[in-house]
């Protein structure tokens, strides 16, 4: 099945690849174009499966990076995800950490120790993924009761409902 990548994303990728290493803003604009076509899926968050259009675009991006001899494509994609998350926070798809938002209004940088408000999706990912992983490990060791195994099955279903591919965890 062929996925149709929107022309806005193709143009942003071409600009990003032609400016790789030279123009800081091109990668940011590319990340923004990807967020704009991702239908609200938080694919730039760890553990969330890429929507088909983003998966197809990622392959094209890696091909383009290889063609221009880019030394570390996975790091380039990591930066795209980072800029995508920042843009999603900027446009309100994802809540900014409270401390970061307060620091921005005061013109300060945020502290890593500060409390912050997370969106429900991010809270589930941050809190449930480690619990699910621990349960899966214990299940492989045969150390879970029937109730605990059923609970972990429900955790897997909850993560899948948010688009998390548990096989990648």
As a whole number of angstroms, the distance between CA 66 and CA 78 comes to: 16
Q: Which two tokens stand for residue 134?
A: 């621990």
Residue with tokens 């843009």: 87
Beta strands in the chain (DSSP E): none
Residue 147 lies in a domain: yes
As a whole number of angstroms, the distance between CA 127 and CA 32 comes to: 27
Prediction pTM value: 0.54
Alpha helix (H) residue ranges in 20-72: 24-36, 52-67
Residue 79 lies in a domain: yes
Residue 2 lies in a domain: no
The domain tally of the chain equals 2
Q: What is the pLDDT of residues 41-58, one digit of tens each?
A: 888 887 788 889 999 999
Looking at the fold, whether 131 and 61 belong to one and the same domain comes out as: no
Residue 139 lies in a domain: yes
> Domain residues for 35?
7-94
Looking at the fold, whether 27 and 67 belong to one and the same domain comes out as: yes
Looking at the fold, whether 83 and 129 belong to one and the same domain comes out as: no
Write the CB contacts of 1 (distance below 8 Å, at least 6 apart in sequence): none
Tally the residues of the chain.
169
Looking at the fold, whether 89 and 128 belong to one and the same domain comes out as: no
Q: Which two tokens stand for residue 145?
A: 């009761």
Which residue, 48, 78, 94, sits at the end of a domain?
Answer: 94
> What pLDDT shows up at residue 97?
66
For the chain, which residues score pLDDT lower than 70? 1, 19-24, 97-118
Which residue, 55, 76, 94, sits at the end of a domain?
Answer: 94
Looking at the fold, whether 59 and 132 belong to one and the same domain comes out as: no
Residue 77 lies in a domain: yes
> What pLDDT shows up at residue 58?
94
The phi and psi torsions of 48 (rounded to 5 degrees) equal -90, 130
Mean residue pLDDT of the chain comes to: 80
Q: Are 77 and 62 within 8 A, CB to CB? A: yes
């Amino acid at each position: 099945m062929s996925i149709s990548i929107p022309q806005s994303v193709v143009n942003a990728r071409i600009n990003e690849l032609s400016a790789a290493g030279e123009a800081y803003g091109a990668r940011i604009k590319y990340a923004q174009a990807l967020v704009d076509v991702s239908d609200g899926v938080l694919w730039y968050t760890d553990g969330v499966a890429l929507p088909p259009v983003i998966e197809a675009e990622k392959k094209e991006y890696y091909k383009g990076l290889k063609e221009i001899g880019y030394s570390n494509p996975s790091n380039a994609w990591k930066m795209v995800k980072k800029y995508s998350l920042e843009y999603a926070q900027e446009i309100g798809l994802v809540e900014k950490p409270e401390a970061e938002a307060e620091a921005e209004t005061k013109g300060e940088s945020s502290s890593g120790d500060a409390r912050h408000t997370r969106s429900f999706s991010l809270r589930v990912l941050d809190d449930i993924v480690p619990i699910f992983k621990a349960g899966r490990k214990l299940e492989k060791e045969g150390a879970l009761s029937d109730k605990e195994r059923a609970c972990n099955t429900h955790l897997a279903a909850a993560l899948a409902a948010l688009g998390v591919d548990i096989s990648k965890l």
